[in-house]
Amino acid sequence: MIRVAKLSPRQRQLLNGLFITGSVLLCLLLSPTRLPGMALLGIGPNWFLIWVVTWSLKHKVLSSVIAGLILGLLQDSMSSSYPSHVIVLILVGFITARLQRHIKEDLITIVLLVFILTLVAEAMIALQYALLEIRPIDEIWLDYQRIALSCAILSSLWTPAFYYPLHSWWEKLQQ
């Protein structure tokens, strides 16, 4: 096991970069994956949203917005560019970073935050569909209910899988 305290600041920075990159790559790999227990009504968890929330709880608003921008671009590159996930993840990063000092960092609170922000994110996606007139509003509403609830439930249930390792790592770096 690596003793973080014994590493030089440069080594810590490099190791942190590798850890962040690895966790984002894991999000990229998990997003299209539908393993048993990872899908509900054909919908999977929003791994990028979970990552942005976890990041934003430990970082300032600007870096949280930048993280939302980067992960939104990655998510859009895996799917169509409309509706845009960039706007959604930037907003999630901003909201979480602004709420940071008011949130008690226990698992129940984080899971509830992810649940609520997933509903908000899916509502913004549905709004983009409506504004761009991609689909009829009644279809959007029916799909929104199914997608938002399924995604929110799964995202909140899978939050500890990302929250604990990332949170623990950043706690070690701060010591």
**What tokens appear for 74 in the block?**
């990655």
**What tokens appear for 28 in the block?**
């990229």
Residue 18 falls inside a structural domain: yes
Per residue in 85-107, pLDDT (tens digit) is 999 999 999 999 999 888 887 88
Stated as kind and residue range, the H or E segment containing 122 is: helix 107-131
pLDDT beyond 70 at 81: no
Q: What pLDDT, on the 0 to 100 scale, is given for residue 169?
A: 87
Residue 36 falls inside a structural domain: no
pLDDT band at 2 (very low <50, low <70, confident <90, very high): low
Output 41 or 83, whichever has higher pLDDT: 41
Please tell me the total count of domains within the chain.
Answer: 1
Region 54-78 average pLDDT: 94
pLDDT band at 56 (very low <50, low <70, confident <90, very high): very high
Residue 173 falls inside a structural domain: no
Residue 153 falls inside a structural domain: yes
Write phi, then psi, for 79 (nearest 5 degrees). -130, -165
Residue 2 falls inside a structural domain: no
Instruction: For residue 156, give Cα distances in angstroms to 15, 18, 62, 153, 162.
Output: 28, 26, 25, 5, 11
Contact by Cβ (8 Å): 113, 53 = yes
Q: What angle do CA 100, 96, 58 make, to 5 degrees?
A: 55
Residue 1 falls inside a structural domain: no
State how far Cα 74 lies from the chain centre. 12
Residue 172 falls inside a structural domain: no
pTM reported for the whole predicted model: 0.91
- Determine the Cα–Cα distance for residues 8 and 29; give it in Å rounded to an integer: 31
CATH number of the domain encompassing residue 148: 1.10.1760
Range of the domain at 23: 11-31+42-167
Per residue in 116-169, pLDDT (tens digit) is 999 999 999 999 888 988 888 888 888 888 999 999 999 999 999 989 999 888
Residue 86 falls inside a structural domain: yes
